[in-house]
Structure 1
Amino acid sequence: MNSKIKADLTSTACYSSESEDTEKQSNGFSWTDCSYAHDPVKFKHISVQPDPIELPGSLSFEGSTYLSRPISSMTAEITLYKKALLWWKIPCLNSFPCSFDLCELVGHDSSCTFSSGYLHSSKRSYYFSRPPISSYLLKGYYSATITLKSQGKQVGCAYVYFNIDG
C-alpha cells in the first residue's frame, strides 16, 4: 500500500529526511519511517527474517536508528492491521501485546537513557507460537504502525509491512 494512503488511513503524517520514496523493500517485507520532522528518532534500517514470516517459528529482527538527542524511558506502541479487502485493526491480545518497554527489551531497568547518535540493534531471534486460528485467517498481508514514545510523547514512528505464511 502506498505510504501516503496509509498515512491518511491512520491519521498520522509521514516525514522522511530522505527522498520522497522512503520505502525499503525485501521481498514481501518493507518499511517506511513515518516520524514527524521534529521527532528525535529516525529509523535507518529494519530487517526481519524469514520473509514471509512462518508461524510457529523463529523470527529474527535487526535494525538501526538515529537519535538527535538522548531519550529516556522509551516505549514502543504497536498497532497491527490485516488486509482483507480493507485494512482491519487487530486487537491487542495476551499473545500479542501492543506496548513494549524498550529498556526492558534490551535488558536495562525501565528508567534507562538512550544516548544520541546511531543506535544499532544486532540480530535477535524470538520464537513465536502459532495463534489458535485457522491457517486461512492467519495467512495474509499485514501492516504495523510502531510509535516510539518517551514520557507520553511521540519521538519516532515506522510503518512495517509483512506477509505471514502460517
Structure 2
Amino acid sequence: MLGAGLALALCALQLCPAALGGSYPQLLVERSGSRRLSKVGGFAWENCGDRRDPVVLQSLSVAPDPISIPGSLRVSAAVSSGKAMASPLKVVLVVEKALGDLWIQLPCIDQLGSCTYNDVCTILDNLIPPGTTCPEPLLTYGIPCHCPFKAGSYSLPASDFILPDVELPAWMTNGNYRVRAAVSNGGEELACVKVAFSLQSQ
C-alpha cells in the first residue's frame, strides 16, 4: 500500500483529505478550541517492522520542508510487497508528542491519536466509494486505492498535491511528534512504518 505510513499518520492527525489531495468531501469538523494548522516540518521516516515483513516502504520523499498549509506538497514514494494485502487490514497507530526529553503517548480521542482501526479497507471505501475511479496521480501510475492490494512493486514519481486548510483539535499543540503505524492481517504483521514531524498552528 503505497505511502501507507504517511497516509495513516496524516489520518491520525485529521489530515485524510490532505493525503488524498483534498479532492474529496471535507471530512474535518470544527471542534471547540481548535486551531488552524499552518506548517508541518522536520519530516523523517523509517521502517520499523521485522525484516521478514512482506511489505516494505523503500523510499519516501516529501517537499518542501516545512510544508505550508494551505499550500502545495510534492511527494514521491516506492513500496515493495511480497504478499497481497486483503481485508481486514488492521492498523494500530501510536502517536507520541515530545515533552522535554520524554515522549508522551497521546490517547485515542474521537478516532484521532493512538487508535486501532480494525479494517482500513473500510475506511478507504468510505473515502473513495467502490466503483469510483482512483484519484490522480494514483490512476496515472496504476496504484490501487482499494483492497485487495496485489503483491508487487508500486512507485509514485514526484507528484504535486494541493493541501486544504486543516483544523487541529485543541489537544494537538505545537511541537514534535512521532507516529508508528503497524499493519496486520489475521495477527500477522505485514508492514510497520514510523514517521516524525513537527507541527505549527495559528
Aligned-pair CA distance for 1:119: 2.9
Change (3 A) 1:92 1:62: farther
C-alpha distance 84-147 of structure 1, shift in aligned 2 (>3 A) = same
Q: Deviations over 1:43-92 (max 9, x none)?
A: 1233456644667x578566432101212122332110000120000011
Higher strand proportion, which one?
Answer: 1
* Preserved contact between residue 43 and residue 198 of structure 2 (Cα < 8 Å): yes
CA distance in 1, matches of 2:120, 2:190: 13
Task: Tell whether the 8 Å contact from 1:146 to 1:158 is kept in structure 2 after alignment.
Answer: yes
Measured in 2, the distance between the counterparts of 1:53 and 1:92 equals 25
In structure 1, give the amino acid aligned to 2:180: T
Residue 68 of structure 1 pairs with residue 77 of structure 2: no
Identity across matched positions, percent: 25
Q: How many residues are treated as equivalent by the alignment?
A: 135
Is contact 2:72-2:160 (8 Å) kept?
no
> Could you say if the C-alpha distance between residues 165 and 90 of structure 1 is closer, same or farther in structure 2, counting changes exceeding 3 Å?
same
1:164 deviates by 0.3
Q: What RMSD over aligned residues (CA atoms) do the two structures have, in Å?
A: 3.1
- Between 1:95-104 and 1:40-49, the stretch displaced more is 95-104
Instruction: Could you tell me which runs of 5 or more consecutive residues in structure 2 were left unpaired when the two chains were aligned.
Output: 1-40, 131-145
Q: Which residue of 2 aligns with 1:105?
A: 124
Match among 134, 143, 147 for residue 182 of structure 2:
147
Shift of 1:165: 1.0
Partner of 1:91: 107
Separation (CA, whole Å) in 2 of partners of 1:143 and 1:75: 20
Alignment partner, residue 19 of structure 2: none
- Structure 1: which 5+ residue stretches go unaligned? 1-26
1:30–1:87: structure 2 CA closer, same or farther, 3 Å change rule? same
